[in-house]
Structure 1
Amino acid sequence: MAERPRVYKTEGIILRRRNLGEADSIFTVLSAHEGKFDAIAKGVRKTRSRMRGHLEPLTRSRLLLARGRSLDVFTQAETVAPYRAIRDDLERSATAIYCAELADRFTIEHAENPGLYELLLAALEALDGGSPPGAVARYFELHLLSLMGYELQLDACAACRGRLEPVETLLSANAGGLVCERCRAKAGAGRLLGVRAMKVLRYARNVDIGAFGEVRLDQALAKELEGAMAEVISHFLEREPRARRFLEIVAALPGRENALAPGIVESEQGP
């Protein structure tokens, strides 16, 4: 087996940072071919550091690293995409932080997953480009589960594989998807979804994130989907993501209670 080069290049998205000592920081990075990994940037918090600003969380950067005994070491960093529109908007920032946390928590270190990298990249670009934050979050959740081996069964009963009627139906994480009325009692906890919500999830599964961002959702439908997917995510993580609380705080800020993100309008018609 060939020995890995001591110095290597990669492109990655910075998921989070942890300060170490007076001037150093440890960053968690997600890249297409190195997977998720931690690396240390020495002296990055000093004013004159050349890497300062290029390793901020939610930044896509071109990286040069040297392999270390316990942690690899950043030697160069160059910003590819700073995603300024995300940083300038609290709701978009909160949603991006949430997606980054899910990418972090659902993966182990050094497990190569190009699909996950591309999914997070698409979510950040959609948020930066003006797509509704709620739509981006739902799309990311659904496709993340599929990539991690937890794809939800949406076309037939997850328990008996029977036909689903166009009526209110249980979404059960324990069963692995939608459950017909006959199997509901043995499926465990879940959330009832209306016909429109089920159609939205199926559509999200089959289109790209740009197309899904154009779907018109009224506020009630958006909340229904948010609550259902929150239960599913918490089931598979066995905890509630920390960033979800931040999302709730942002949503409760004055002036946002009845406000919809751009691209989401009040409508009685399903997608």
Structure 2
Amino acid sequence: MSLYRDTGIVLRVQKLGEADRIITFVTQRHGKVRAVAKGVRRTTSRLGARVEPFAHVDVQFYTGRTLDVITQVQTIDAFGAGIANDYQRYTSGCAILETADRMSAEEGEPVLRLYLLVVGALRALADGERDPSLVLDAFLIRAMAFAGWSPAVNECARCNDPGPHRSFSIQAGGAVCPRCRPAGSAAPAQETLELMSALQLGHWEVAERSTGNARREGSGLIAALLQWHLERQLRSLPLVERKGVQASGSDVRSAGSAQ
């Protein structure tokens, strides 16, 4: 029996048999790990509350034939307590977990930067000091940079000509100059591009001064870019509540249809 230990965030849980669950983590050293928590659905289990989504835990595994098995769990941060009681924060958190799950597709492949992004985003949601919509969009745009899909905002995505540029193409990967502009490109407001740049760079004072229109337009562009690269829809994004921004799944579709 080979034991190993790591810290991670619980991304997803699935039922297995009558009393077990498969727990999916994104971990600090081993990337994505899927492991069985035996007997966790029994009322007498001491692990149940420690392996729920949003939990930040120190966990010990032993290596199994197909799935590893969880033997010990210690809670580091109970982010769920500060997230689950607010629908806006909860839906934003679910979108963060689903994105992390999709972006760490290969089990065992180290994804340290993604792990740190997830921990930071969930901590910001749980603290409640920032707008959950901005926290989500900052996570998504930085997660794309981790995957090598960082959108061009301050330069042309095709020729690298310095901006600002008025056109934006999802297929091209961001802002485009007049020479490189594909047919059907969107024309977001300059404030929207400034907001996206601020979210990339962590300039929160700029992001928090942005208007509702810029946040709505930026959220649509960021979500459309992410789903273009992932080549699939994220189920949680249309459910995200964006108070005062009035964004929904239709914003994602309209941003994508502009291409």
TM-score for the superposition, normalised by structure 2:
0.88
Taking the aligned partners of 1:159 and 1:214, their CA distance within structure 2 comes to 26
Partner letter of residue 191 of structure 2? Answer: R
* CA-CA distance at 1:174 after TM superposition: 2.0
Query: Which runs of 5 or more residues in structure 1 are unaligned?
Result: 261-271
Q: Which residue of 1 aligns with 2:4?
A: 8
Report the 3-state secondary structure (helix = DSSP H, G, I; strand = E; otherwise coil) of the residue aligned with 1:231.
Answer: helix
Q: Which residue of 2 aligns with 1:77?
A: 73
Structure 1 205/165 Cα, relative in aligned 2: closer, same or farther at 3 Å? Answer: closer
Q: Which residue of 1 aligns with 2:42?
A: 46
Structure 1 156/53 Cα, relative in aligned 2: closer, same or farther at 3 Å? Answer: same
Q: Which residue of 2 aligns with 1:269?
A: none
Report the 3-state secondary structure (helix = DSSP H, G, I; strand = E; otherwise coil) of the residue aligned with 2:208.
Answer: coil
1:243 aligns with 2:243: no
* CA-CA distance at 1:164 after TM superposition: 2.4
Q: Count the aligned residue pairs.
A: 244
Structure 1 190/24 Cα, relative in aligned 2: closer, same or farther at 3 Å? Answer: farther
Taking the aligned partners of 1:79 and 1:213, their CA distance within structure 2 comes to 35
Structure 1 136/72 Cα, relative in aligned 2: closer, same or farther at 3 Å? Answer: same
* CA-CA distance at 1:155 after TM superposition: 2.2
Partner letter of residue 159 of structure 1? Answer: R
Which residue of 226, 234, 237 corresponds with 1:233? Answer: 226
Q: Which residue of 2 aligns with 1:157?
A: 156
Report the 3-state secondary structure (helix = DSSP H, G, I; strand = E; otherwise coil) of the residue aligned with 1:184.
Answer: coil
Larger mean CA deviation between 117-126 and 79-88 belongs to 79-88
Report the 3-state secondary structure (helix = DSSP H, G, I; strand = E; otherwise coil) of the residue aligned with 1:245.
Answer: helix
Structure 1 240/197 Cα, relative in aligned 2: closer, same or farther at 3 Å? Answer: same
Which residue of 112, 120, 127 corresponds with 2:110? Answer: 112
Report the 3-state secondary structure (helix = DSSP H, G, I; strand = E; otherwise coil) of the residue aligned with 1:88.
Answer: coil
TM-score for the superposition, normalised by structure 1:
0.84
Report the 3-state secondary structure (helix = DSSP H, G, I; strand = E; otherwise coil) of the residue aligned with 1:110.
Answer: coil
* CA-CA distance at 1:57 after TM superposition: 0.7
1:210-266: per-residue Cα shift (whole Å, max 9, x none)? x3696222221111111111110110111110101221xx45xxxx56789xxxxxx
Which residue of 175, 178, 181 corresponds with 1:181? Answer: 178
Structure 1 213/85 Cα, relative in aligned 2: closer, same or farther at 3 Å? Answer: farther
| Identity between Structure 1 and Structure 2 (%) | 30
In the TM superposition, 1:14-163 aligns within 5 A as 14-83=10-79, 84-107=81-104, 108-130=106-128, 131-163=130-162
Q: Which residue of 1 aligns with 2:255?
A: none
Partner letter of residue 126 of structure 1? Answer: A
Structure 1 173/29 Cα, relative in aligned 2: closer, same or farther at 3 Å? Answer: same
1:192 aligns with 2:187: yes
Query: Which runs of 5 or more residues in structure 2 are unaligned?
Result: 248-259
8 Å contact from structure 1 (residues 132, 213) kept in 2: no
Partner letter of residue 54 of structure 1? Answer: R
* CA-CA distance at 1:88 after TM superposition: 1.0
Partner letter of residue 202 of structure 1? Answer: S
Taking the aligned partners of 1:91 and 1:112, their CA distance within structure 2 comes to 30
